[in-house]
Amino acid sequence: MAEPWVLIIVLCIVTFLSRLIGVEMMAGRVLNPTLRLYFNFVPIAIMVALIVDQIFITDNGSSSISLPILGGSIVAALMIKVTRSFLLTVVIGILVGLGIRYWLHI
C-alpha cells in the first residue's frame, strides 16, 4: 500500500519544483499590464470553476443543483462584499451550507 504515498510525494515534489522555477524565472521582471491583469484573474477563475462544478451535480445522466453548496456560495459572496474577511466568509459559508443540509435533511 506504499504506492499511493509514493505518488503523493512525487506529485508534491513536482508541484514544488514547478512553482519554484516559475518564481525564479519571474523574479525581478516587470510584467506587461495586460499580462498582470490576466494573472490576477487566474485564481478567481479557478475558484469559480471549482464552485460551479460542486453546485451542478450529474448522476446517471440527470442533472441537479446542490442546494447546500448553492446557498453557502451565495451567502459567502454577500459576506465577502460586506466583511472583506476571507476567513470569516469561508466559515459562515460552510455553516450556512451545513445548516441548509441539516434543515432539508439532505
pLDDT in tens, 29-65: 888 899 889 988 998 899 899 999 999 988 888 889 9
Range of the domain at 94: 32-104
Average pLDDT, the chain: 90
Predicted structure pTM score: 0.64
The stretch 83-104 carries a mean pLDDT of 95
What per-residue confidence (pLDDT) applies to 106? 73
Q: Tell me the DSSP string of the chain.
A: --HHHHHHHHHHHHHHHHHHHHHHHHTTPPPPHHHHHHHHHHHHHHHHHHHHHHHEEEETTEEEE-HHHHHHHHHHHHHHHHH--HHHHHHHHHHHHHHHHHHHT-
In a domain, 1, yes or no: no
Joined grid coordinates for residue 91: 466559515
In a domain, 78, yes or no: yes
In a domain, 4, yes or no: no
Question: Is the pLDDT confidence value at 78 over 60?
Answer: yes
Total domains in the fold of the chain = 1
In a domain, 19, yes or no: no
Question: Is the pLDDT confidence value at 67 over 90?
Answer: yes
